[in-house]
Structure 1
Amino acid sequence: MKIVPNFASKEEEKKYYEQEASETEFLNWYNKQDLPEYEKPSLTVDIVLLCYNKEEDQLKILLINRKAHPYRASWALPGGFVNRNESTGESVLRETKEETGVIISKENIEQLHSFSRPDRDPRGWVVTVSYLAFIGEEPLIAGDDAKEVRWFTLERKEEKLLLTNAETEIILDLKTGESTGKDTLAFDHSEIILKAFNRVANKMEHEPQVLQVLGKDFTITEARKVFAKFSGVDYKTIDHSNFKKAMLHHFNEIGERPVGIGRPSKIYELK
């Protein structure tokens, strides 16, 4: 049996367990301390789910209406607390299903950013890890902490980002990050959405994963329409030939799609 020395001071005890004891001994000692040296924040996840409706030519984002404090009745991104022995990736898949009824896989999600400002949550120190995913527009089922769950149209007008659904309008400023309009978002979710939107806009020409919102295949015109949503322009101002030439190395041509009268459109998939 290993004999633990008597310590003259707390500092001497700390030094022994950190530098001389085994890791198992250190962890047993550390977890028994009343006041660990480092405070432990709570950990949550939030996800920005984007889709595109081809018939309506609309980019959309999924939001929930919170049914409990804090920010009761405010719109927010799907998400929640990470369970013990659960990774943030596993947590975001679980929370998305529980709150919205939407099932996504780990292949769908991309880690976006961590947000750790001390005052971001009125319940205390809560760090969140945000994720981004591109999916098709799916039916929604409100559950868990969600009073309602809806797809909001996401539209860029110059340096403003408009989130609208029925009577609700939320306006985000792409330059200042400020949220205006009749409604605002819970927590710092305006900041998270702007981070996601700018991430897509800044890298879509060399990493066009956003085109996953079009499903397994798409035409060049459909791809132009999605790109135009992030640029805030009419898709017709994006030259078809130049766009195709610039993006074709990201695509595989897989066939043709009838479009009524005239020549069928070529269809592509992401490499």
Structure 2
Amino acid sequence: MRATDDGAALTERFEQDRPHLRAVAYRMLGSLAEADDALQEAWLRANEAGVAGVENLGGWLTTVVSRVCLNMLRSRDRRREDPLDARPGEPGSWRPGYDPEEEAVTADSVGVALLVVLDTLAPAERLAFVLHDLFAVPFDDIATLLERTPTAVRQLASRARRRVRGGTAPAAASPDLLRRRRVVEAFLAATRGGDLEALVGLLHPDVVLHADRLVVPTPEPITVSGGRTVAQGALAAMGRARFTGLALVDGAFALAMAPQGRLRLVLTFAVADDGLITGIEVVAEPDRLAAMELTVPA
């Protein structure tokens, strides 16, 4: 009877905590499909282990989910040599019931730039940062999970935090950079809304867009000029700007497109003193993307 009661208590608490556990798993993995896989595996492990002697059931479930996610990250890390273009389509699109709109909304709520930076961290750094900085899990608890000292875990989180914030935070308050931020945010809003006229209004009549050969892809890079032509091309290429968000790229505000937190595309902007966009550079070549310093806007 006690085992039955324990099982019922575990089931009830797991379902009660599911939104929180899914949030942890999503930030750890960057994919709703993988997060749901992690929750399923965590439930099987928790159910098998039982809850006898567990005083903090919520904290214990977070630990179980985090351990599953850590194993998934380590497995993913060993496959990093797989080329990005070996994963066509949107993340999880092959799964029954996959909802690209839910995935895009979730990515936007968390922050595309944050997901991109988290994807560059080592598994232990990502876990330490996510659990401590995003969910306020004490370093002592994370240390037990990682089998490291609290001091070592604190250092992991600190390194991750520096990578997330970068060295651009002081400049982000400058009037010029804030003006550029508003312009880029307006460009994103117009693109998401499919508002051609709003987009044209943000562009200088002689704006020039350069896109490298992997953006479309084409044999050669593409150059397009003229406000309306560039606006029409941006809407056609970006659709509703799904999985796209504001980022700091080499210290300037830009847009990053990153399905499943994997950086695929960056748009950088040249903005004149009058606030009109005079140039757009669209980058998809992996070597160029890897050379960019991308951090999370404040």
When Rg is computed on C-alpha atoms for both structures, the one with the higher figure is: 1
Give TM-score, length-normalised by structure 2.
0.26
Could you say which structure has the higher strand fraction? 1
Could you say which structure has the higher helix fraction? 2
Give TM-score, length-normalised by structure 1.
0.28
